[in-house]
Amino acid sequence: MIKIAPSILSADFSKLGEEIVRIEKAGADLVHIDVMDGHFVPNLTIGPPVVKSLKKVTGLPFDVHLMIDNPDSYIDAFSEAGADIISVHAEACIHLHRTIQRIKQLGKKAAVALNPATPLSAVEWVLDDVDMILIMSVNPGFGGQKYIEGVTRKIELLKNLIESRDINIDIEVDGGIDTGNIYDVTKAGANLIVSGSTIFSAEDTSKIIKELRENACRE
């Protein structure tokens, strides 16, 4: 089953609570929260206090994508604030295995994110330890960028690797996904789809989420 996680990076920040209620009513499965520190990526966004406040308005799980240096210093705070899934970037973690164990110790789902240029080998030896791999299909930092086509092959290779290990973990893909390319992304093996600008720029939120689901591969 394909899950849709709207990225609130493209929401109206002056009324974030209402925006989240809107996507919940429209049938979203999770809320994707993009945390940026101005170092790992050239943008600044949301911190733990905002996550904590937003937790009060929705029952949807929080999928927190940490695009920050030194994520170990902030994992506990985001966990306490209400994150359900915590993604850290392989490129930002010196002791990735340790970071993953900490997230799991806190009772949260642990995920590792990979930038478009980072090879799958960066997660090969932690695949047995994670709940999800997040494949970036744009260079992180901003919403509304174009899907990098070459990443589709990377998703396929990851899917094969997971199957060859006989493990069951989610493949999330993030960046530039719309109703036109969601089929290829899901056919390649992704089951959790992040979508920011496509969902928040649509007139009718329920309709666009429905269209994304309908266009996804159902094999």
Catalytic residue among 34, 63, 131, 178: 34
**Residue 79 binds which entry of ligand DX5, Zn ion, none, with Cβ cut-offs from 5 to 8 Å by kind?**
none
145 lines the binding site for ligand DX5 (CB under 6 A) = yes
- CA atoms of 49 and 145, how far apart (whole Å): 28
Smallest gap from residue 109 Cβ to ligand DX5 (A): 17
Q: Which of 65, 89, 109, 213 binds Zn ion (CB under 5 A)?
A: 65
Q: Which residues from 30-69 bind ligand DX5, rule CB under 6 A?
A: 32, 34, 65
CA distance 164 to 166: 5
Which residue in the list 29, 37, 131, 174 is annotated as catalytic? 174
DSSP per position, 61-117: PEEEEEE-SSGGGTHHHHHHHT-SEEEEEGGG-TTHHHHHHHHHHTT-EEEEEE-TT
CA distance 28 to 25: 7
Please give the Cα distance from 149 to 138 (Å, whole number).
Answer: 10
The reply on whether position 71 binds ligand DX5 by CB under 6 A is no
Nearest to 9 by CA among 40, 39, 50, 55: 50
The count of residues interacting with ligand DX5 (CB under 6 A) is 22
Q: Which stretch binds ligand DX5 (CB under 6 A): 3-11, 55-63, 163-171, 182-190?
A: 3-11
| Helix-helix angle 48-55:16-25, to 10 degrees | 50
Tell me if 176 contacts ligand DX5 by CB under 6 A: yes
Q: Is 129 one of the catalytic residues?
A: no
Catalytic residue IDs: 34, 174
Give residues in contact with ligand DX5 (CB under 6 A): 7, 9-10, 32, 34, 65, 138, 140-145, 174-177, 194-198
